[in-house]
Structure 1
């Protein structure tokens, strides 16, 4: 346990959190850096996600849809930014407009969806959408819509010191290494139970695990499957596992030969043994994928099952496509930010190699390979994708990842029937009807082999035994909260 929390349990001590992702965009709120700042207990949005995925009040006390394309949010009374400035409608509008005007807008909140933001009065904000969008409240719970004080945007880069509203305020930053935090004694949600905290950016999963084992860190996020065996016998560490809406997929470039042929893509589906991958590479903490969504989700097709591991079927499909498997070779991108991907790529290489297909593996960190992936300069790529991370309903993910003009459509999958169903889902207010549509889309993506869906992942967090009040969240948006305490009793 961290030094200030030892010797009898100082409930106002110092907590160290080992974070798996280092900020890569100078804290731009429209980027994934917003998730890091949310986990650090600094950044908050108008709404927040509950564990079941539904939105709950946060900086906004209530919200309502006033027209088919307009929603109003009533701000919570008396909230101040950590620098003492009022969190009023003008500040909220400035923060949200900054995200809308970004060169690379957020996937959840961008001009394709949101047509404008305005202050109705000092405590009411109206968000307008270009077309009716039933997911707007969920968009307002995403970290990318987090609210920072006007001072945050005054300089050449985002200033995160004193400009948040959360239970912890940033007092020092060592770029790409750590954040030093202290509790916000004026936090609107109540006094935090920890006096100071540190967020350490440690991309290497084994290094995060070591820090918890030695007591240098109290919480380590995203424990890799390969490290589970070393932790499970440690009485001083609790492994908290939660099913997370995240699927590992081998994306196939749908517009580059040979994967522009759906028969070849389907052959790859049957060439990979997802059950063996879940049991070995993921040490049993993942489940074989039945498509883009987990089996127990309400938007998963009834009776969905993993694609069968069947090399005879693969050969038959390749024969129907007029393709000799021995003539096939492709490069598979496996970024090393996900420790499992090195072993996963090697297993895929070996399994499809039995058909005569040659696979060359390209490694590197995600930042180095993403430009080629987004631009379509690749054959195949492994991706761990959270389908509720951008918006807490899969329709948002389906639009960004699998619509013809999707902002994150790395697979370059494009099908007019799928687009029509996605657009219908985005305007269907009845959840059951929307989930039925999403299930149909999921079934079509599996049938079209838009990608090879491999496993549904779990989130594993290692927590020292002296930490109290930590609750793992399926979306992994919240770690340092006001409820954390150190010590016994």
Structure 2
């Protein structure tokens, strides 16, 4: 197997220069504002025409053009946005809609407009990911919107914070399509989208909140990481998202910010069949993994060594974490494996090429596990060509970079998906009654401190099985030119340019 190399060659730099030619417009000054237009280089171009019902919604949120009823604080608790308050009664949550808000087309924000947007999302095919498995109905009355679910759902406010449930004016909806151009409520009005090349936004002076300091945003989509880094280095972009680790060392340290992401690089072990069905061999693999070496060699120190499944992007997790209590049979199995060693047990580890670091992580793990006595074979493909086999349990182990906080901002959904016996993404093939009980409790607990404690108890239950070995928590490297003020550094990647952002 040939693994991708890391060195940056002159040819790559030349390619980056060619990619940048003509990409970024000149910065225009705004005599009534705090500087010129903000030039942003983004990694992924739109995949669904910037429809808020897709992952493109996060671009709209990062540009402060589309807004939701609710926003989240650093702990993941809901806070007012287009809704000023809410209350629950059984299966129904009632939200009071903020007054004095207008859409970018001049029409007023009403409870009817909110209900219309939510209804379109609930009836979409496919549904926005945040509504997977959720039967939601929205009805308007006066200044309130009642949101009713088929079963009591303690996370409705958090769900409504997802950018995929942004509230747009009626003009946004034409047949099966949804267009955010000129139909949001945010501080910046989306004026134009040029396919997968660029987007233009102007300040919306009728914004209900604090007026934006910058006159507008000029977005260019630059999928090539070397080109994005070159745009920051040359001064052709003011804000650059997702600078590759390999490029960060080549930039002025004062221009980059490393933001902990709610994303963990984890080794999933197949608990249903093969060598790792034996808990002793799972424990031996856990002891063989040197996460610090992976963080230093593969991520060049730009990742945090994992102490659990949930990392520093969730500031409350570390304080609530407890050591996993392994069961008697697991302790005995670990002891047997520690005494006899893996004895040449043959294992196949799968991973994918879409994230540049993962093949290198696989190679490093191969060396570590071999030193512990395992015979290790690697299988590396594109994600689209390996996901089905991973979910079907066709590997002994699988390396995955996994988002631990999904669209609701709540990690219970990720834990359930990945480790419940009925979980839809259970690569470890785990079926453990103690884990299922802990996950069910976390899912049913009301949002807040009690739910966070239940989530951490579920994490401990998962770790006690050695079905997953968390290795590192990834960081996103963001570049801000020296003249940029107030750019957001958001672990959830929902914010980037805010009303407070401007260039000197």
What TM-score comes out, normalization by structure 2 length? 0.82
Q: Distance in 2 between matches of 1:198 and 1:400?
A: 38
Residue 237 of structure 2 is aligned to residue 217 of structure 1:
yes
Q: CA deviation at 1:38?
A: 1.3
Q: CA deviation at 1:407?
A: 4.2
Q: CA RMSD in A?
A: 3.3
Residue 357 of structure 2 is aligned to residue 333 of structure 1:
no
Does structure 2 retain, via aligned residues, the 8 Å contact 1:226–1:340? no
Does structure 1 retain, via aligned residues, the 8 Å contact 2:77–2:447? no
SS of equivalent residue, structure 2 residue 217: strand
What TM-score comes out, normalization by structure 1 length? 0.85
Q: CA deviation at 1:76?
A: 1.0
Residue 376 of structure 2 is aligned to residue 358 of structure 1:
yes
- Change in Cα spacing, 1:29 to 1:252, as seen in structure 2 (3 Å) is farther
Residue 477 of structure 2 is aligned to residue 460 of structure 1:
yes
2:67 to 33, 44, 55: 44
Aligned length: 471
Uncovered stretches (5+) of structure 1, i.e. residues with no partner: 308-312
SS of equivalent residue, structure 2 residue 255: strand
SS of equivalent residue, structure 1 residue 460: strand
Residue 320 of structure 2 is aligned to residue 298 of structure 1:
no
Residue-by-residue CA offset, 1:216-275 (whole Å, 9 max, x unaligned): 211112333322221245xxx522233333212133455564555544444432332111
Residue 100 of structure 2 is aligned to residue 78 of structure 1:
yes
Match of 2:52 in 1: 29
- Change in Cα spacing, 1:314 to 1:8, as seen in structure 2 (3 Å) is farther
* Higher mean C-alpha displacement, 76-85 vs 261-270: 261-270
- Change in Cα spacing, 1:430 to 1:340, as seen in structure 2 (3 Å) is closer
- Change in Cα spacing, 1:458 to 1:9, as seen in structure 2 (3 Å) is farther
Q: Distance in 1 between matches of 2:467 and 2:334?
A: 16
Q: Distance in 2 between matches of 1:149 and 1:476?
A: 24
Q: Distance in 2 between matches of 1:468 and 1:3?
A: 18
Q: CA deviation at 1:408?
A: 4.2
Q: CA deviation at 1:463?
A: 0.3
Q: CA deviation at 1:466?
A: 0.9
Q: Distance in 2 between matches of 1:174 and 1:374?
A: 37
2:131 to 99, 102, 109: 109
Residue-by-residue CA offset, 1:373-399 (whole Å, 9 max, x unaligned): 556666644333332242223223223
Does structure 1 retain, via aligned residues, the 8 Å contact 2:265–2:473? yes
Uncovered stretches (5+) of structure 2, i.e. residues with no partner: 1-23, 327-332
2:182 to 162, 168, 183: 162
- Change in Cα spacing, 1:219 to 1:368, as seen in structure 2 (3 Å) is farther
Match of 2:90 in 1: 68
1:179 to 199, 207, 227: 199
Does structure 2 retain, via aligned residues, the 8 Å contact 1:117–1:125? no
1:448 to 459, 465, 480: 465
1:285 to 289, 292, 302: 302
Residue-by-residue CA offset, 1:2-45 (whole Å, 9 max, x unaligned): 63157999735221212233333444434322212211222211
- Change in Cα spacing, 1:216 to 1:314, as seen in structure 2 (3 Å) is farther
Q: CA deviation at 1:454?
A: 1.0
Does structure 1 retain, via aligned residues, the 8 Å contact 2:187–2:207? yes
- Change in Cα spacing, 1:241 to 1:174, as seen in structure 2 (3 Å) is same
- Change in Cα spacing, 1:304 to 1:318, as seen in structure 2 (3 Å) is closer
SS of equivalent residue, structure 1 residue 418: helix
SS of equivalent residue, structure 1 residue 230: coil
Match of 1:310 in 2: none
Residue 411 of structure 2 is aligned to residue 394 of structure 1:
yes
